[in-house]
Amino acid sequence: MPTIAPRPPRKATSHAARRHGLACLLWLAAAGHAAAQDSAAEAESAAPADGKRTLLIVPYPITEPAVGNGVFAGPVWMREGPAYNDGPAKTEAMGFGALWTDGGSRGMAAFDLRAWDGGRWWTTAVAADAQLRLHYDGLAPGGELDVGFGLDVVGLSLQADRSVGDGAATLGLRLFASDADLSFDRGLPAELSGSGVQSRANGFALSYANDTRDDVYSPTTGVQWKATGTVYATWLGGSFNAQALGLRWHRYGRGLGEGVLGVRAVLDASRGDQPFYLRPFVGLRGVPAMRYAGESVVSMELEHRWPVGERWDLIAFAGAGHAQADYRGTQASASVAAGGVGVRFKARKYFGLTFGIDVAQGPDGLATYIQIGNPWAR
C-alpha cells in the first residue's frame, strides 16, 4: 500500500498575507467587543440570579483555512444551566446567525441548547442552510488536486443526552437529516466518476460519554471521553448506507510550574457508500479541514496553558495525525504534524467564556485561528 508524502508547503502569496491580515483584523474587532462586554460584566456581581437569559451579540470569527476567513454573527441568549451530576457546569444557549467568508461561503443557522428535569436531560437542536466553498485535494490523504467545489446543504439535527445515575456519565441519541448538492469548478474529477452530485444523509447516532473536568472552557483537571456510533441508512430516507465510529479522549492535569497540560486523542473510522466530504479527517490546528481524510484516522495533540494573571493565558500546542484511505479503489496513507502558540482571555467571567487567537505552523505554512471557547469541543 503506497504512502503519500505531504506535499511541500504552498508559497506565500499576497492573498495569503491578506488572509492573515484579515484574521488579525477580525481578532482585533472581536477583542474590542469582548473587552466592552467584560467591562459590562465587571459592573455585575454574577450572572442574573432570577434565571433570565443574558443577550450576547458576539461575532464568531471563522478562520478555518478550508473555507477562508469570515464571520458567523447573530444574537445568542445564554444562562447558567442547572447542576445535576458530577460533571462541569454547562450553559444553556439559543440563537441564530448568518455566515460569510472571503472564500465565498454563505449560510444561516439556528440552534437551541437547554436542560430539562433539573439537568438530568440536555437537548440540542440545530437547523442550517449553507452554501459552502471548499477545496478537494483528492481521495488520497494529503493529495495535490486542489480543485474548488461548492456544497449546498440544508440540514436538521436533534440530540438528547441523559445523565446516568449521579455520576458524570451520559447516554445520547442524535437524529439528523440533510440534503446536499455538489458542484466542481472544473468538472467532476475522474476518481469520482459515477458518484452522484446529490445526496441525502439521514440517520442516527448513539453515544456514551463521561466528563469529570472542572470547567467546560478552561479545564485544569479531569478527564473527558466519548464514544459515538453513527448510522446512515436508506431505510430512514437517505440516499446511501454507511457506518462510522468516533472516539474522543481528553485529559487535563498539572503542567510546568503553575501551568495546565492537556492531552487529546482521537480515533475515527468509517465504512460504506458515504460521499467523500463525510469521510473522517485529521483535525489539528494548522491542518486544513478535510485535507487528510480517510476511512481510518488517528490524531493526538498536546496543549500547555500558562496563566498570566487572573484572566490571561499563554498557549503552546503541537500534534500529529495519520489517515488511511481505502475508498473507491484508492488505497493510500499519509501522516501530518502541526503546532503553534496562542493566547486566551476570559471575557465573561461568570459564564467562563474564553476568547483568544492561535497561530499554527502546518503543511501549508502558517494558519491563524480565532478561538471562542475550547477548540477541542469541536
Could you read off the pLDDT of 58-79 as tens digits, one per residue? Answer: 788 888 888 888 999 999 998 8
Which set of grid coordinates corresponds to residue 268? 475515527
Which set of grid coordinates corresponds to residue 310? 487572573
Per-residue pLDDT, averaged over 225-245, amounts to 97
Q: Give pLDDT, residue 146.
A: 84
pLDDT in tens, 327-339: 888 899 999 999 9
pLDDT band at 12 (very low <50, low <70, confident <90, very high): very low
Q: Are 40 and 57 in contact (CB under 8 A)?
A: no
Domains, the chain, ordered by start: 14-377 (2.40.160.50)
Residue 146: CB atoms within 10 A of its CB come to 12
The mean pLDDT of the chain is 85
- 98 pLDDT higher than 90: yes
pLDDT band at 50 (very low <50, low <70, confident <90, very high): low
* Cβ density class 97-112: b for 16+ within 10 Å, e for less: bebbbebebebebebb
Q: Give pLDDT, residue 43.
A: 36
* Residue whose cell numbers read 448513539: 206
pLDDT band at 169 (very low <50, low <70, confident <90, very high): very high
Among 105, 133, 103, which residue's Cα sits nearest to residue 22? 103
Angle at the Cα of 113 (from 262 to 109), degrees rounded to 5? 100
- 88 pLDDT higher than 90: no
For the whole model, what pTM was predicted?
A: 0.84
pLDDT band at 17 (very low <50, low <70, confident <90, very high): very low
